[in-house]
Amino acid sequence: MPFLHTARTVFTVLGGLYVATVVLLTIPYFQTHTLFLHAVSIPWFSNFDIPEKYGLAPNKTINLKIQTADNETLGAWFVLSDPHYHSLPAVPSQPIDYIPAALKGRPTILFFHGNAATRAFNARIQHYSLFSSRLSANVLAIDYRGFGDSTGSPTEAGLALDARAAWNWLITNGATADQILIVGHSLGTGVSALLSAQLSDEKISPRGVVLLSPFSSIAKVLETYSILGVVPLMKPLAMIPWVAGAFSPPPHLLALRRRIELVKRTIIHRFDTEALVPRMKGSILIAHAENDWEIPYTHSEALFDTFLDPLLPSSPSFPSNTLSQDEWATFTEQFSKRKEAREEIVTTVELHNFGTVQECMESGRRVVLLKTLAGGHDYLGVQEGVQDVIGRTFGFFD
Ligand SMILES: *[C@@H]1O[C@H](CO)[C@@H](O)[C@H](O)[C@H]1NC(C)=O
Ligand SMILES: *[C@@H]1O[C@H](CO)[C@@H](O)[C@H](O)[C@H]1NC(C)=O
């Protein structure tokens, strides 16, 4: 039976690789590399001195170095807004001289990219291009420590310092807080949340925060993440009864089971945005594509609900005695009260063939959830419709 034999070999190899992956993830070195993927430095051998090579107009983008509080040096690009760039009589010979005037003239988007690749990655260039044209905004895009031409290696606390250094750089060069919109994509939404919470604690109010394709926390991502959108990482483990603790595993699997439980307990870089929500003040836009196969849009729904939570009656607890009619009646009543309260504070607008905007006005700030039909994980933010929702929510067209 050569076929069966081959099939068994294939499954043994795949199973072995899978187990090896899970085991490796409990080792800090591998966990850090798997999360940040900063070694995947696409485009390879980027020349950050020549943004033109990646599609940006001549001398519209200035290559910079930004110093962090702990002495790392970050590579960064400052992109002039198109209205400012076009108002110059010719291609500027010293574009760096125009930064202070650009910061005073138009709002600036402080952009935090996702994991892997550099600030020169094509999908990111498309974001800067649209931010500076459709939204007429300046853009500051940094590579975190360990990414691109930046020094150091990434950690959660380190990325928070990088974000703050970029913010401080804008303020030092003449931007005001209310002119800076913080925009994060994917892993960058975790960074944006950290910066937003820190600024809110200091009573500093940016123009707002945009979370593109966010996740609620790395622990929750592990539960739903699929490698390349295909191989679910934790799901097979959750489905094996002994992993869930229902049965004792055979002795030789005990060690593996312990490793698996460790993966979730040993997460080093937690990026727990959900836990930061109560500290994040000011207006928030959360956007997610329904066809995002890397991070499902349920993460955004969960985040939006966390923002609404203080405005709603508490979630009812499931009846402890499922046979009690009284308990069921109380449960149903509390449930529908919460649903009604939610409908009262959230307005929903369907944008035909594009998506749905849910919005809640709360003590002077707007909390918006945009769900789109298209865009996937990386190209959500380069849809004109998404740019326009950003522009309208944060007054870029006024
Ligand atoms: C940062 O580097 C500079 C020069 O390289 C040095 O003088 C300074 O002491 C360093 N600061 C910290 C906090 O390491
Ligand atoms: C672009 O700026 C650099 C200096 O930053 C300058 O040397 C170069 O001549 C400029 N290019 C053009 C076309 O003016």
Span 109-159, pLDDT tens digits: 999 999 999 999 999 999 999 999 999 999 999 999 999 999 999 999 999
User: With bands split at pLDDT 50, 70 and 90, how would you rate the model's confidence at 257?
Assistant: low
Q: Is 49 in the pocket of ligand 2 (CB under 6 A)?
A: no
Minimal CA–CA distance to 332: which of 346, 323, 319?
A: 319
Structure tokens at 41: 């430095």
pLDDT by residue (tens digit) across 151-182? 999 999 999 999 999 999 999 999 999 999 99
pLDDT by residue (tens digit) across 363-377? 789 999 999 999 999
CA 102, distance to chain mean position in Å, is 27
Q: Write b or e for each residue in 334-352: b if 16 or more Cβ atoms lie within 10 A of its Cβ, otherwise e.
A: eeeebeeebeeebeeeeee
Q: What local confidence, expressed as pLDDT, does residue 242 receive?
A: 47
Q: What local confidence, expressed as pLDDT, does residue 27 receive?
A: 81
pLDDT at 48 over 60: yes
Give, for ligand 2, the residue of 94, 96, 97, 98 to mutate: max count of ligand atoms closer than 8 Å to Cβ: 94
Dihedral of the alpha carbons of 292, 308, 389, 279, in degrees to the nearest 10: -90
Question: Ligand 1 centre from 71 Cα, in Å?
Answer: 6
User: With bands split at pLDDT 50, 70 and 90, how would you rate the model's confidence at 204?
Assistant: very high
Q: What local confidence, expressed as pLDDT, does residue 244 receive?
A: 47
| CA distance linking residue 56 with residue 138, whole number of Å | 13
Q: Which domains does the chain have, with CATH numbers?
A: 2-36+223-265 (no CATH), 51-215+279-393 (3.40.50.1820)
pLDDT by residue (tens digit) across 54-88? 999 999 999 999 999 999 999 999 999 999 999 99
Q: What local confidence, expressed as pLDDT, does residue 375 receive?
A: 97
Ligand nearest to the CA of 64: 2
Q: Is 91 in the pocket of ligand 2 (CB under 6 A)?
A: yes
Q: What local confidence, expressed as pLDDT, does residue 370 receive?
A: 98
Q: What local confidence, expressed as pLDDT, does residue 353 receive?
A: 97
User: SS3 for 285?
Assistant: strand
